[in-house]
Structure 1
């Protein structure tokens, strides 16, 4: 009887403990780390995507189109409306997918997590080299 009670108690505790794998929402609007654009993260199909929804100020020396895109056919498209975070799905305690960087036209493996103060931590990786940026919540 004591053994059954111990097993039942352990199962009950495991069922009520906050899980590390609980999905954490990242939906919302954020500013890029330099404050040039706002990115809105929202559902897109069965995943999450982050799209540039507002130009706050123009980046000095940069055109208002996707001039550095690896695909020449996309270089004339406006920056407004470009999807930066792509195919994010919840796996292993974080949102994982891809991040597009319009500054160099590259697409990288991404790990995205909520950060302090409602911000978003966005990590882009190429092989083992990663770069992390904090996108504050838009006001």
Structure 2
């Protein structure tokens, strides 16, 4: 009887250990968002085995900025339209967040990214270079 109770307790503990915890469960980030200034709409969804985010609509022009990728580090890409640029790249679920790269058309840089769903359907996008990070919040589009 005691052996049976111990075996049951061990089996239950093993079953709990292999179940994913709620905190570490993969959370979807797929959706349509507006950037922090409400200038562009970004659609996030699957791209191969990862997640990507593409500018799918220009809501309003940023004062003084053309609708071209003029700040890109690569001169050959500076004439491409902002519409259609993939700003979130190769996001994969790892250690409780989506991790990959984020491209910032405002400065032409690509940064290490950590992306997490926020409250009320928002998306928290953090871009980092070495130890310096900046986080912005994207709101759900309309």
TM-score range, shorter chain: over 0.9
The two structures, once aligned, show a CA RMSD in angstroms of 1.3
SS of aligned partner of 1:136: strand
Give the 5 Å matches for 1:40-59: 40-59=43-62
| Distance in 1 of aligned mates of 2:112 and 2:38 | 23
| Distance in 1 of aligned mates of 2:107 and 2:19 | 46
Matched, 1:97 2:100: yes
| Distance in 1 of aligned mates of 2:124 and 2:70 | 26
The equivalent residue for 2:31 is 28
Matched, 1:60 2:60: no
Aligned residues: 139
Larger radius of gyration: 2
| Distance in 1 of aligned mates of 2:7 and 2:46 | 44
Deviates further, 51-60 or 8-17: 8-17
Q: 4+ residue runs of structure 1 moved beyond 6 angstroms?
A: none
Structure 1 unmatched ranges of 5 or more: none
Q: TM-score, normalised by structure 1?
A: 0.95
| Distance in 2 of aligned mates of 1:17 and 1:104 | 39
SS of aligned partner of 1:25: coil
Query: Residue by residue, what CA displacement relative to the aligned partner does 1:82-114 show, whole Å, maximum 9, x if unpaired?
Result: 110001011111100000000100000000000
| Distance in 2 of aligned mates of 1:15 and 1:105 | 43
Q: TM-score, normalised by structure 2?
A: 0.93
| Distance in 2 of aligned mates of 1:53 and 1:67 | 18
Structure 2 unmatched ranges of 5 or more: none
SS of aligned partner of 2:12: helix
| Distance in 2 of aligned mates of 1:33 and 1:54 | 14
Query: Residue by residue, what CA displacement relative to the aligned partner does 1:2-48 show, whole Å, maximum 9, x if unpaired?
Result: 32122122123335563433211111000001100000001111111
